[in-house]
Amino acid sequence: MIDDLILNYILVFIFLELYEISWQKAPSIMGMIIRMNKYYSKSVLLFLIMQPTFYFAVCFAILCDYDIFAMIFLFLKSADVITKILLIEQIFTKKRLSHETSLILLSPIDNFLPYIGLIIYPILIALAF
């Protein structure tokens, strides 16, 4: 019974994470930020709606009675969304970016990098039970 529940949560999370990866994937972090800014510039609410794994993490933390692993999961997803918003604001609104940061954002990323969450987060989901 509990194994089916864990598997269901993990499968729902993987589906939602693949959705996020599909619209954010780019050859560099700057490319990802540019893609995200298309939604952010239309509406911050639209941008937040496009982050369903964050809402999954909130609900999951509540359902698990704020288990430490569920809270780590929520913290990581929150930090992810906040970092994206801060980078978008820094690049497109304030138009201030250090030379070092711009070099990091423009450097190419490996093809597996967007998929790291598909490994780390399901482990936290399983540990929360």
| pTM of this structure | 0.88
Q: What are the tens digits of pLDDT across the range 52-85?
A: 999 999 999 999 999 999 999 999 999 999 999 9
Q: Which H/E stretch holds residue 105?
A: helix 99-106
pLDDT score at 101: 86
Average pLDDT of the chain, as a whole number: 93
Report the sign of the C-alpha dihedral through residues 54, 14, 104, 41, in that order: negative
DSSP 92: I
Please report, for the chain, the start and end positions of each structural domain, with discontinuous segments joined by +.
2-128
How far apart (Å, rounded) are the C-alpha atoms in residues 40 and 21?
16
For the CA atoms of 26, 27, 32, 35, the dihedral, rounded to the nearest 10 degrees, stands at -50
